[in-house]
Amino acid sequence: MWFYDPKKSTFTLKVRFGVNATPDVDGPFDGPDNISVSPWGGLILAEDGEGVQHLIGVSGSGEPFPIARNDEAEGSEFTGPVYSHDKKILFGNVQTPGIMYAITGPWRHQR
């Protein structure tokens, strides 16, 4: 994930995802594709790698952390993470069979 600073016209690599060598167990996250910015400035990513699928948070310092794990639909990915207008609920969708989860906090600012 790259950070672009338009004032300085610079790009900075903030976080990098490799390949999870053991995709059937929780391990290094891989293949994130849907990206949302959290209300506090971090990122929320929907993992689309091999094996176990997660919603991943990424702190402002570039540290990834798990938010949710998809145990409902094997082989299906999370999509379209987004917070409610009041910032209290994170919605995460599982592509197949078309389930939407409402994940409540309390949320705190990640550094």
> Which pLDDT does position 11 carry in this prediction?
94
Q: What's the pLDDT tens digit per position in 65-102?
A: 999 998 887 778 899 999 999 989 999 999 888 899 99
Q: What's the pLDDT tens digit per position in 2-25?
A: 888 899 999 988 888 888 888 877
Answer whether residue 45 shows pLDDT above 90: yes
Cα separation, 109 vs 111, whole angstroms: 7
Task: Please state, for a pLDDT cut of 70, what percent of the chain lies above it.
Answer: 96
- The band of 38, judged by pLDDT with boundaries at 50, 70 and 90, is confident
Q: How far is CA 69 from the centre of its chain?
A: 11
Cα separation, 93 vs 46, whole angstroms: 9
> Which pLDDT does position 56 carry in this prediction?
92
Domain boundaries, the chain: 29-111
Cα separation, 58 vs 76, whole angstroms: 21
